Structure 1
Amino acid sequence: MANNRNCKRAVLGFVIAVNIFDLISDWTIYTGELLNKDGLVFGPYDRHIVDATLVFCVIATVTFVVEFFLDIYNHNKKSETVELAVEILAVVTLLIEDLPLIGINLHIAFCRQRETNIIQIIKASTAILEPLVKLSIMAIKICRNNCKLKKKITEAKKIRQVLNFLILILLAINLILSILLVLTTMFDSLRLDEEVKNGYQQDVGIFMTVPNMADNEWIRLTDLKTITQLSSPTQGLFLSVMVTAAPLQYIWIRKHFPGSPESLSCYHGNSSSAILLPPNDCSNILPTTETTTVSMRFTYIHPSTYQPMGDIHYNLEVRQGFHQILTNETVSLKYFKVRPAVRSDLALTTTENDSHYQFYREDSDLLSTHEVWKTGTSRCGNTGRESPKLDSDLFVRCVF
């Protein structure tokens, strides 16, 4: 008899431990959703997903507390009514907490599988534990009840038999979905490999507009790989763009560090077309009171659990002439992927057979990263930021 009591206590303790572990796992998932940051390609989770996860975590907490006290009461004082209440609660918990949460996790896995990390794999693997344990306990309970044929079958026991059968079905569904979640998560790499990173970054660059440019016209500053592959990401990349006023317009893009200062490209023309000047001619351009100079610094934030592709931060200073400082809002930066047929190695673009250059046009030359950075097998929408993040703490000085 003592051994039987000890066995029941061990089973009760094990079930409570599994439920506590499951509750912690649910809240860990919610915390991870809150901590996810915006950055390159990947951004925060959809607000509806985060709110839904919170609701189901609260439900999980309430049902855990009720189930805990019912299990303790039923262990100390056997009651058919309490056992019935426990099994009704088990059905309710599976329907309004366990299955919805596993559904949310599957949605995240399918939509954002390229950002898989070790935490997600652990959480996905532990999702199998609870239905396996409960299936085993339920099977033992059903077998034990069926063996006691001499006992009178009451109406409550008939209801419990139906509930037990329903619980078995729901636990089996939960187990299948948990296994699917593990497989979906495990088949992705623990980190974004270089091939995947290159795929996201290929032909994607940072583009800029300055005052007096049309809204759909852009100057290419640099490609993402130049920044993400910096030998010293915290020091970053320092560029300057000098634009003189029309009609005799000059555009000069320079790199100041890392490495020795150099001219990247220089153009002379009007609002519709320009010619590429030799690098030596660019240094002869003298800034005037009508010259807009934009000096900017870009740094790279390395990937982390909550920023799988990392992020790019920037700060800039805009001057009109030598003294008038303009607000940062006069300059816009944005990520774009250049269309395959468009030349993309310089600040302005042209066809291979044309010696005249022009601004990149958003409608004909560029693709929004909102479209090209879709993630997941179901091609879910992009949630990453479409431009670098302004960081006013980065030191930047204007260079003429």
Structure 2
Amino acid sequence: MNDDNKDRKVWCSFREERIHIVDNIPFCQQCHNKFGFKLFVFLLVVSFDIADLVSDWLLFHDVWLAKEGLVYGPPEDIVKYLLLAFSVLGTLTFLFEISNLWWDIFRRNPWVNVDLLSAITIWIEDVPQIAISVVIIACREEAISYFQLVKAAVIILGATIRLIVSLVQYCSKSARKDLECAKVNKESRRHVVYRVFIMMGLILTLGGAITIFLFTQSERNADGSLNFKIPHRIMEGEFDDEKYFTNVSIYFSHSYFDYEKHNSSDSFFDSKNFLRLIKLNDVKNSKTDKNVHIIYDGTHTQFHIQVDGQKECYIINKSTQQVTQETTCSILTNPEQFAFTFHFVKPSVPVLIFGDITYALKTGTSTNCETPTLKVADNLAAQMNDPISVMLRYYRTKPGVTEDNHIHKTSTSHKFYHASDLIDISEVWKTGFAYCKSSGSPAPHKGDNLEVQCL
């Protein structure tokens, strides 16, 4: 063994039992023992930890309060409970870490080595928390405002400063000695391992923060390109709701509409006819509730559809399987009706990001109109399992399919809408940067205390 190796072994054989966080700061050596400097370091670390803790609980608050509405609803229960568990764990580790830091800086006698505690905290709390946050925010819509932009930037700033502070600490004399002596000194080797795990965790946290910023402040186009969202307001956020609601309407399905003869090979979905009740934006943008009435005769061949006084009338010829629109509505024999009232529940962030639509339904005659006992399904599969049920659901018309009338009007004929004319709302409402499956309701919810006026 040469003299240099002997000298290094002797030099590395001694390591201070405890090296404190203030001692690792490589500048202002004369300030290390001053109370004001210690207080500044303590408050700086506490400030970043508090900002991180508050952002965790704010996200949990938003997720926990979310209700099922238009486009968005609450995430799966497993995600909510994981977020709660790590938020609680983060609070406990925050309290312990801050107490331990106090004892390290002001008493120079921490309960647990600061590097070890930081490594544990980062990997059992920070990394899982940022991973869950990325998963949630990848599927969420964020209101765009300057406040939201600043909030997203602060998350990156906090993660960056934590990384820089750690790098500065690891350039200190004691940290460099640990690195040089790791092969011959067990204590030095242990601290090098701590710091490697800390840096890996901080890099992942910073990557997660940058990903969150990307998800919240940009949008992905269909071709994969990115557009940075430009805010126009300081506090009140703006949502891009047109991509979700353009050409989307509420559709109604009932066996009375199924007049066509189908081959035995046709599926249930292909054989169902749909009536377009009202555009979603018409309900959303109205200051009052919207009323829709479907009045029909006893033979189920004449239908009058009336929306707030505007009426369309159709006659079905079951022999020729043709639908004709009447220019002058005929008088119906023994008329019955479906009477709907639709109400828009205004957005309330974070509970209902885009709001919700509720409905009430009555059936019968003008003199005996009551709430029906029949089931109102929100998908064709449920309606198939219960033939006497009806269905309400949101759909978007396919390109080239008109929605000027309550049924599909072409240049040569009228017919009810079919599944082949429509895009299911589950395909329309792909949410967030990751185009996730919508967690919102595919149909209006049954409302409480809505008045329905029968004609």
TM-score (norm 2): 0.74
Contact 1:192 1:308 in 2 (8 A): no
Per-residue CA shift, 1:12-65, capped at 9, x if unaligned? 232123222321221111011012232222222233322221121122122112
Q: Within 5 A, what are the aligned runs for 1:199-218?
A: 199-210=243-254, 212-214=256-258, 216-218=272-274
Q: Say yes or no: does 1:274 pair with 2:320.
A: no
How many residues were matched structurally?
Answer: 377
Question: What is the correspondence of 1:139-288 to structure 2 with a 5 Å cutoff?
Answer: 139-146=167-174, 155-187=186-218, 188=229, 191-192=237-238, 196-210=240-254, 212-214=256-258, 216-230=272-286, 232=287, 235-246=288-299, 249-256=301-308, 261-263=309-311, 265-271=312-318, 272-278=321-327, 280=328, 282=329, 284-288=330-334
Q: Does 1:61 align with 2:108?
A: no
Match of 2:432 among 372, 376, 381: 376
C-alpha distance in structure 1 between counterparts of 2:147 and 2:446, whole Å: 30
Alpha-carbon distance in 1 for matches of 2:102, 2:331 = 84
- Cα distance in 2 for partners of 1:179, 1:95 equals 18
8 Å Cα contact 2:215/2:433 also seen in 1: no
Inter-CA distance 141–320: structure 2 relative to 1 (3 Å threshold)? same
Distance 1:92 1:145 in 2: 24
1:325 to 370, 373, 394: 370
User: What RMSD over aligned residues (CA atoms) do the two structures have, in Å?
Assistant: 3.0
Residue 308, structure 1, aligned to residue 308, structure 2: no
Q: What runs of 5+ residues in structure 2 fail to find an aligned partner?
A: 1-29, 219-228, 232-236, 259-267, 376-389
Give the drift of 1:140: 3.8
Which residue is equivalent to 2:67? 37
Q: Name stretches of at least 5 consecutive residues in structure 1 with no aligned partner.
A: none
Structure 2 CA distance, aligned partners of 1:148 and 1:109?
Answer: 39
Question: Distance in 2 between the 1:262 and 1:141 partners?
Answer: 74
For residues 73 and 395 of structure 2, what CA distance do their matches in structure 1 show? 17
Q: Separation in 2 of the partners of 1:72 and 1:385?
A: 50
Q: Does 1:387 align with 2:443?
A: yes
- The amino acid that maps onto 2:242 is N
For residues 331-361 of structure 1, what are the alpha-carbon distances to aligned partners after superposition, in whole Å with 9 as ceiling and x for unaligned? 432111122243332122243222xx33222
CA–CA separation in structure 2 for the residues paired with 1:243 and 1:12: 76
Q: Is the alpha carbon distance of 1:309 and 1:117 closer, same or farther for their aligned partners in structure 2, counting shifts above 3 Å?
A: farther
Go from structure 1 to structure 2 and tell me whether the alpha carbon gap of 1:305 and 1:270 turns closer, same or farther (over 3 Å shift): same
CA distance, structure 1, for counterparts of residue 415 and residue 217 of structure 2: 47
Report the Cα offset of residue 237 of structure 1.
1.7
- Bigger Cα Rg: 2
Residues 1:342 and 2:388 aligned together: no
User: Could you tell me the percent identity over the aligned residues?
Assistant: 25
Q: SS in structure 1 opposite 2:367?
A: coil
Q: 8 Å contact 2:303–2:315 — kept in the other structure?
A: yes
1:112 aligns to what? 140
Tell me what 1:360 maps to.
Answer: 417
2:339 alignment partner in structure 1: 295
User: In structure 1, what is the Cα distance between the partners aligned to 2:175 and 2:243?
Assistant: 61
What is the alpha-carbon distance in structure 2 between the residues aligned to residue 313 and residue 120 of structure 1?
A: 30
Is 1:27 matched with 2:75? no
Q: State whether residues 295 and 397 of structure 1, in contact with CA within 8 Å, keep that contact through their aligned partners in structure 2.
A: yes
Task: Give the C-alpha shift of residue 205 in structure 1.
Answer: 0.9
Q: Which residue identity does 1:96 align to in structure 2? A: I
Q: Go from structure 1 to structure 2 and tell me whether the alpha carbon gap of 1:119 and 1:241 turns closer, same or farther (over 3 Å shift).
A: farther
The normalised TM-score by structure 1 is 0.83
The 3-state SS of whatever aligns with 2:436 is coil
- The one-letter amino acid paired with 1:295 is A
Deviation track 1:350-393 (CA, whole Å, cap 9, x = no partner) reads 43222xx332222x222210111112333211222111122121
What secondary structure does 1:378 align onto? Answer: coil
What secondary structure is seen at the aligned counterpart in 2 of 1:139? helix
Cα contact 1:370–1:386 (8 A) shared by 2: yes
